[in-house]
Amino acid sequence: MTGLCDTCKHQKLVPNTRGSVFSMCERSKTDPRYPKYPRLPVKQCPGYVSVSR
Ligand code: SF4
């Protein structure tokens, strides 16, 4: 649903009060090059780190 972010270690899924879930990039906390809520789907990302879930 979010492209690369779905399988990235740095993704955090954040639910809001209306029942939607946003894909937040935790890299944004330490690196200003990454938006907090990246425009989806993310097709290419230099900060991508694969995780299995
Ligand atoms: S580092 Fe890239 S792929 Fe990973 S969550 Fe952030 S924007 Fe998505």
State the closest ligand 1 atom to the C-alpha of 24, by its place in the atom list counted from 1: 5
Q: How far apart (Å, rounded) are the C-alpha atoms in residues 30 and 40? A: 20
What was the pLDDT predicted at 53?
56
DSSP secondary structure, 29-52, as one string? GT-TTS-SS--SSB---TT--B--
- CA of 30 relative to ligand 1 center, distance in Å: 13
For 1-53, how does the pLDDT look when each residue is reduced to its tens digit (9 = 90+)? 789 999 999 999 999 999 999 999 999 999 999 999 999 999 999 999 999 75
Q: Model's pTM, two decimal places? A: 0.89
Regarding the beta carbon of 24 and ligand 1, being less than 6 Å apart is answered no
